[in-house]
Amino acid sequence: MLRPYKGVSPQIAAGCYIDQSAQVIGDVVIGERSSVWMNAVVRGDVNAIRIGANSNIQDCSVLHGMLNKYKVIVGDWVTVGHSVTLHGCTVEDRCLIGMGVVILNDARIGAGSIIAAGTVIPEGTVVEPGSLWMGTPGKFKRKLDDAAQESIMTYARNYLGYTEQYLKEIGDL
């Protein structure tokens, strides 16, 4: 469901799939061919949320900012796994955010990084580009090699295929 908040409506680019069970509210901008899946909540009521092109926000994830302080920024080609919480943080391009991850206010995930399933990234943490982090609290494990970088893109491309199929099913292509 797309709905305005305080007169501001979500802006959804061409070729996006927003599942009918998802809630996309207020000051949200979603780039081309991105997707928001079942029961996800993208709540742009207290601050802006920006999702780049070719990114996917999977089932039961929650994106929310902090009033007058922290937006949620998700770059291009980002995979946000099932049941992730992104709160007032920035995730740069080509990242894989594993299932059940929590990323808190003012954290920044550098481009080409993987945050392993179940990891909690504390407030204000800076993850250097091309890094693997895991644990609670999240800790740097290693730099990612070319194979890991390609795996990030594989997940993102898979979701472009799912998006295309779902749009065909509902007749939007």
- CA angle 45/39/111 to nearest 5° reads 70
Q: How does residue 92 score in pLDDT terms, banded at 50, 70 and 90?
A: very high
Task: Quote the pLDDT of residue 99.
Answer: 98
Residue % of the chain over a pLDDT of 70? 99
DSSP state of 128: P
Task: Quote the pLDDT of residue 172.
Answer: 60
Going along the chain from its start, the domains and CATH numbers come out as 2-170 (2.160.10.10)
pLDDT at 89 over 80: yes
Q: How far is CA 151 from CA 78, 85, 103, 145, 146, in A?
A: 12, 22, 21, 10, 9
pLDDT at 141 over 80: yes
Closest-CA residue to 103 (of 148, 142, 134): 134
End-to-end CA distance of the chain: 19
Residue % of the chain over a pLDDT of 90? 97
Mean pLDDT of 20-45: 98
Q: pTM of this prediction?
A: 0.96
Mean pLDDT of 14-32: 97
Task: Quote the pLDDT of residue 173.
Answer: 54
pLDDT at 154 over 60: yes
- Taking the C-alpha atoms of residue 51 and residue 35, their distance in angstroms, rounded to an integer, is 9
Task: Quote the pLDDT of residue 86.
Answer: 98
Q: Assess contact for 10 and 44: CB atoms under 8 A.
A: yes
pLDDT at 76 over 70: yes
